[in-house]
């Protein structure tokens, strides 16, 4: 029987690449995000190319009622979820602590931390019922190191790191694996979002070296989720060859 993966933030970047990778391997995909048009387009492309089913769910992970409503009412034939990828997230701005916008801080914390918690809480009953499952949280190198003007984004990703450890402990009795993947710089829409549509600033982030690509992360997640039942990758930091950590990139 086909397996099912639920991916948040599948309308672009890592999430979209993860959906493409798993769909190609025969997995049914529940894809979520706020941009309905993009999700519907991806759903029809994947279901036309591969003999799988795709369920697009449109909601904002910051809205706890919307999360509970969308995930709590997943049709019965979609409730056997094998993997949850908590990927939806963003950085907004790159400003010193005294200059940063409170609204940006709220959005990052509400999305990257509280959104991940709401989605996980909503999905857990399905995993606990079956006493199996795999939660994969997308952290960042920013979950491990704090860099200049990274303040709230780094804090939000440190929280993802802590929450991954907490879930791993609390979900042990239910045989649920928890893996945190921490990528370094990756060429997606991330920097366009961070710099609020400033194409020049966004492009500069990836100039002079080959950054990670969304497909690299999809490949790693596919590997991590196809290990023997008794094996769990707990924590994985991954950068491109040119990047050593948050501070050193050879350009
Ligand atoms: P993208 O901007 O390409 O994708 C982000 C995805 O998150 C989109 O699908 C977006 O969908 C979704 N999303 C954002 N906010 C919300 C929200 N409030 N509710 C629902 N969905 C939301 O960036 P990436 O693919 O790079 O980012 C994915 C994850 O990877 C993020 O958590 C990011 O922090 C992390 N990361 C990224 C790195 C990078 O350098 N690119 C490195 C390390 C970690 P929509 O707009 O349709 O809602
Ligand atoms: C995204 C990578 O270095 O911009 O999480 O924080 S970085």
Residue range 123-160, pLDDT digits in tens: 999 999 999 999 999 999 999 999 999 999 999 999 99
Angle (CA) 13 35 94, round 5°: 55
For ligand 1, which residues put their CB under 6 angstroms from it?
8-15, 33-35, 60-62, 87-90, 111, 115, 138, 140, 183, 185-186, 188-190, 193
What local confidence, expressed as pLDDT, does residue 54 receive?
Answer: 98
User: Each residue of 82-119: pLDDT tens digit?
Assistant: 999 999 999 999 999 999 999 999 999 999 999 999 99
Residue 130 Cα to ligand 2 midpoint, Å, equals 35
What local confidence, expressed as pLDDT, does residue 243 receive?
Answer: 98
- pLDDT tops 90 at residue 245: yes
pLDDT mean over 224-247: 98
Could you tell me if the CB of 141 is within 6 A of ligand 2? yes
φ/ψ of 191, rounded to 5, equals -75, -30
Tell me which residue has its CA closest to atom 48 in ligand 1: 34
Residue 250 CA to residue 242 CA, distance in Å, equals: 5
What is the model's pTM?
0.99
- pLDDT tops 90 at residue 166: yes
**Dihedral sign, Cα of residue 101, residue 105, residue 111, residue 112:** positive
The residue to mutate among 9, 137, 139, 185, having the most atoms of ligand 2 within 8 angstroms of its beta carbon, is 185
Residue 1 Cα to ligand 1 midpoint, Å, equals 30
Residue 212 Cα to ligand 2 midpoint, Å, equals 11
What local confidence, expressed as pLDDT, does residue 174 receive?
Answer: 98
What is the distance, to the nearest Å, from the Cα of residue 51 to the centroid of all Cα atoms in its chain?
25
Which two tokens mark 80?
């056997």
What is the distance, to the nearest Å, from the Cα of residue 133 to the centroid of all Cα atoms in its chain?
16
Question: SS3 of 190, please?
Answer: helix
User: Each residue of 33-87: pLDDT tens digit?
Assistant: 999 999 999 999 999 999 999 999 999 999 999 999 999 999 999 999 999 999 9
The residue to mutate among 246, 248, 251, having the most atoms of ligand 2 within 8 angstroms of its beta carbon, is 246
User: Each residue of 172-211: pLDDT tens digit?
Assistant: 999 999 999 999 999 999 999 999 999 999 999 999 999 9
Where are the strands (E) in the chain, listed by range? 4-7, 28-33, 54-58, 83-86, 133-138, 176-183, 186-187, 212-213, 235-238
Q: Domain-by-domain residue ranges, the chain?
A: 4-238
Closest ligand 1 atom to the C-alpha of 112? 32
Sorted by sequence, the CB contacts under 8 Å of residue 41 that are 6+ apart come out as none
Looking up tokens 């802590």, which residue turns up?
162
What percent of the chain is predicted at pLDDT more than 90? 99
Residue 235 CA to residue 161 CA, distance in Å, equals: 9
Q: Which band of pLDDT confidence, cut at 50, 70 and 90, is reported for residue 1? A: confident
- pLDDT tops 90 at residue 22: yes
Round the CA-based radius of gyration of the chain to a whole number and report it: 17
Which two tokens mark 90?
């963003």
Considering the four listed CATH numbers 3.40.50.300, 3.40.50.720, 1.10.10.10, 3.40.630.30, the one that applies to the domain covering 4-238 is 3.40.50.720
């Amino acid at each position: 029987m086909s397996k099912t993966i639920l991916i948040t933030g599948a309308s672009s970047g890592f999430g979209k690449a993860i959906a493409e990778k798993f769909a190609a391997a025969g997995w049914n995909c529940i894809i979520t995000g706020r941009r309905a048009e993009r999700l519907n387009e991806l759903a029809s492309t994947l279901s036309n190319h591969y003999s799988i089913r795709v369920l697009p769910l449109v909601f904002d992970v910051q809205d706890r009622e919307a999360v509970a409503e969308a995930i709590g009412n997943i049709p019965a034939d979609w409730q056997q979820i094998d993997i949850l990828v908590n990927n939806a997230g963003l950085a907004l701005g790159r400003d010193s602590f005294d200059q940063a916008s409170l609204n940006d801080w709220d959005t990052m914390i509400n999305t990257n931390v509280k959104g991940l918690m709401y989605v996980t809480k909503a999905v857990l009953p399905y995993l606990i019922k079956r006493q199996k499952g795999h939660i994969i949280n997308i952290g960042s190198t920013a979950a491990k190191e704090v860099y200049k003007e990274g303040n709230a984004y780094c804090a939000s990703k440190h929280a993802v790191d802590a929450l991954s450890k907490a879930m791993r402990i609390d979900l042990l009795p239910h045989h649920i694996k928890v893996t945190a993947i921490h990528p370094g710089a990756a060429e997606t829409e991330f920097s366009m979002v961070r710099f609020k549509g400033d194409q020049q600033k966004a492009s500069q982030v990836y100039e002079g070296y080959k950054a990670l690509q969304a497909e690299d992360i999809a490949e790693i997640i596919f590997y991590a989720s196809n290990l023997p039942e008794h094996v769990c990758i707990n924590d994985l930091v991954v950068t491109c060859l040119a990047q050593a950590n948050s501070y050193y990139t050879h350009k």
